A and B are shown apart, each in its own frame.
Chain A
Amino acid sequence: GAGVSQTPSNKVTEKGKYVELRCDPISGHTALYWYRQSLGQGPEFLIYFQGTGAADDSGLPNDRFFAVRPEGSVSTLKIQRTERGDSAVYLCASSPGTGAQPQHFGDGTRLSIL
């Protein structure tokens, strides 16, 4: 079956621009996570959705970052006024949300801010 799909796979943009990153989770998975992975580091948690609501957004670095999941399936991570330090691989993961189920990761979006 289909895994977690992230688009685009690569995004290059100029400092100050607005970007949107999309995540399509595994069908039926109610939990959705966004992580950010800088070069040579492990993924760092950004935000977690259970259904349509953000259950934990404690990892968002500042108010330039925002994420939505309006219908409880696809999620969009939005970054305003991008800075060079935002360059990283943004990972999305989903899980069934209940019980001892692992998170399934997408291949990520590599974001480069020039």
Chain B
Amino acid sequence: GNSVTQMEGPVTLSEEAFLTINCTYTATGYPSLFWYVQYPGEGLQLLLKATKADDKGSNKGFEATYRKETTSFHLEKGSVQVSDSAVYFCALSDRAIIQGAQKLVFGQGTRLTINP
């Protein structure tokens, strides 16, 4: 079945450091890929998405590119801030979302802590 594997955490960085959180997936067909973020005390929020190969999702300085050849969707940010401290989840949906709603398959999450 479909699955998502994320870089294990926790990850601790200093402010203004470069961030990469690795995510690889296994899926049949053409999934859409997502990064969700959970800030302390808050619910899951969509951070960015990509719906087809070579698409780049971006938001709040974060980027991720849908790489079909390596089945990856790594999250990157050039200069992290203390406010980026959160748990990050990579996820896929098992069909292109233009076909309608469907379930998400999540990775196990990566806890990120940014120190000032």
A62 at the interface (CB under 8 A from B): no
Question: Contact between A108 and B43 (Cβ–Cβ < 8 Å)?
Answer: yes
Per-residue CB contact flags for chain B residues 79-107 toward chain A (1 = under 8 Å, else 0) read 00000000001010000011011111111
Q: Is the interface of A mostly helix, strand, loop or mixed?
A: loop
Selected from B46, B108, B109, the residue in CB contact (under 8 A) with A103 is: B46
B17 at the interface (CB under 8 A from A): no
Total number of residue pairs linking A and B with CB closer than 8 Å = 70
Question: Contact between A48 and B43 (Cβ–Cβ < 8 Å)?
Answer: no
Q: How many residues of B contact A (CB 8 A)?
A: 25
- Show the binding face of A for B, using Cβ within 8 Å: 3-4, 30-31, 33, 35, 40-45, 48, 50, 56, 59, 91, 93, 95-108
Listed A/B pairs (19) with beta-carbon separation below 8 Å = A31-B101, A40-B108, A42-B6, A42-B106, A42-B107, A43-B106, A45-B103, A48-B102, A50-B100, A50-B101, A56-B103, A97-B100, A98-B100, A99-B97, A101-B101, A105-B36, A106-B43, A107-B42, A107-B43
